Structure 1
């Protein structure tokens, strides 16, 4: 098979991959040559090679032409979203089984820290699992409240796996999808009320066959995002306020040395340990507010450095200056990570 692919679809529509562009009719789904958009660690030439291999794999299967076209479009969106990010992303696939392992491989190629969740029914679960994905087994897809809101950059929904609850699933995914994230629905036919789904959203509809479609949804009114940003600001202000008190006491701790075991210095360092513990507790409870998921670990490092420093001072040990510098370095690294 050549690097140019053309699929003739419903009503003489065509889906093609030519000149490194994935095009449906006149709509460019993804232009691999748009190098200014690629900020990932995976080069454009490498992406094109991988995409061609994926198309070849799908093209040579016995899958219906509509499913082949759906797969090409989904792969196109995966490359588009993953290439325009340089930090780990989270992606969900709901209900699909056919190509999830290939999706997982692509997602992992861009960043091994990317998260790919496969949500499926218990009776659809495959015993051979991809190491690049995490499976979540459910009896149905109506309640996904356990997943974090505004977290997922792309959500894939196979509408054929739960036809009766498609609208409810889409509403829940509106809560889950991140700002500027996308929801891609696909299936054999549209079995839901479009006006109810696309309210306050942009939509791109690809009619691939008499029984085959892909629907891209970008929700415009993300009130949850606004609430999240407000909540994030509130949490950050709490940490800043506590840190201000912490820093005042830490300066006194680092600028002096206790003369005895009853020195006020020990009260000051105990106050510092108490304050950083408060911050650690706040971050632990609200870790989803922070892009740096290792922040709790960094905070715990500061607390442990203070505890070690206190113990060294209590023993009047010879390594007092070393432990003092460790506290100083840990705190500076922590402030860079938080603020």
Structure 2
């Protein structure tokens, strides 16, 4: 009788344990399904949020067309077709894309002056992409929207390609944050499309350095002008890295242009290269350190916008600058500088 009682107790305990395990398994399954649903909802919410942010960014961005230095058309970046007839541009034209930086817009003086110089020397169609609504907030907010802006600008350029624009006739310029965008957009278009030429001016460093990026993959010919150590990138991976002033880290003219600083002077110097010769030195200055090979510089070589890119000249190029506008040195001044530094 006692043995039967013990057996009965074990049997009851076993059945109870079995029922508990089944219930627990069902409970686990229920919570697993619930967690999966929550994860999917979270993922869907994230995707929806990203799509909304991209939509909002594109909605506030403007695509501004210039022909013969006249503004001919301003339209939303959200359009999937541009009225080229109204813009005066033709798909067979050369085209240039201009990208501004933080707390800037296509109405900034340097942007309008660059559009003027590109219209005069290059011709064709000049397109400034204005994302000033996003760029007018904090740098951190702008930085967190970097991928969104890259995608939106890439979509704009792809729309141009669909309408017949040829990447081989394309040029892109970006200043500061816009320089990082120009590189990222160019790399995102590859390998289906390759922009012929990209120039950047003191590409932004904060938030991007020290991550190594191969900017040379952004276009067929990529040249990057460097002018500051605090705001500009220290990643020198373009086909040409043009080190302005003192090793690309400081400009002598900052003493007379405090409101611009070494960073802001970069775009002014770049614009001046259209009209004034900025001569490169034939060797790396003794005070400058270089990780990259120094370019072989032909005598009398000048830097700036280059219509027919000389692929033989690549690597780091050192270009001394002066104290006063237009910030270039004459050949005589360059020789004297070489003698005194030697």
TM-score by length of 1: 0.28
> Which one scores higher on RCO, CA 8 angstroms, separation ≥ 6?
2
TM-score by length of 2: 0.28
Normalized per residue, the structure richer in helix is: 1
Normalized per residue, the structure richer in strand is: 1
